[in-house]
Amino acid sequence: MGSKNEKTWTMKMAEVDELISHDAGSLYDRVKLLIEIYEDSEFRAHCKARQEDPHTILDDKVGDTVSDFVTLTEVMERFPAKKQWEGNRLQKMIAEIRETDRLRRAEIAGKSNGQRTSWKEEYEALKKRYEALEIENLQLRTEVQTLQTLFQKKLVPA
């Protein structure tokens, strides 16, 4: 659970609604809040309990744009600085992302004409990397749990 000063997803959603209703703030601020809401486990649990798709809920909050929530998260990943959003039109940023994706796919297709290692070799290498990351993830989770336990013991006197 977060600190008392941490905003809940419902508070953030109210802030998003406020930005929409008063046309205040930037789309950047709204998307940033929506990503925080999407990443909130309590929001996801709320959606699951109501059998609602979180993307649909968040898409409604960006319905006034030329895009959907998922695409806007891609834009945020590619253009993380607020200044980048101020200087660009959303359509231009989306077009740039799509062009980069197209070029990347074309490069992959070109490499598959013999210039690339076999798909099986690449699959095996990725599988090994995935397994190593799974082990690392488990170790980190264990470490976090240990630290949380130690922290709790120091907060609660015996």
The Cβ-side half-sphere exposure at 54, using a 13 Å CA radius, reads 19
- Rounded Cα distance between 108 and 64, Å, is 35
85, pLDDT greater than 50: yes
pLDDT in tens, 29-57: 999 999 999 999 999 999 999 999 999 99
Return the percentage of the chain with pLDDT > 90, whole number: 37
- Rounded Cα distance between 92 and 84, Å, is 11
Tokens of 36: 């925080």
pTM over the 0.75 mark:
no
Higher pLDDT, 50 or 111: 50
158, pLDDT greater than 80: no
pLDDT in tens, 132-144: 899 988 898 998 8
Query: What DSSP designation does 24 have?
Result: -
112, pLDDT greater than 70: no
Higher pLDDT, 88 or 84: 84
* Rounded average pLDDT over 70-95: 88
Nearest to 34 by CA among 91, 89, 75: 75
Confidence category of residue 13, pLDDT binned at 50, 70, 90: very high
Q: Write the CB contacts of 61 (distance below 8 Å, at least 6 apart in sequence).
A: 13, 16, 17, 20, 30, 34, 69
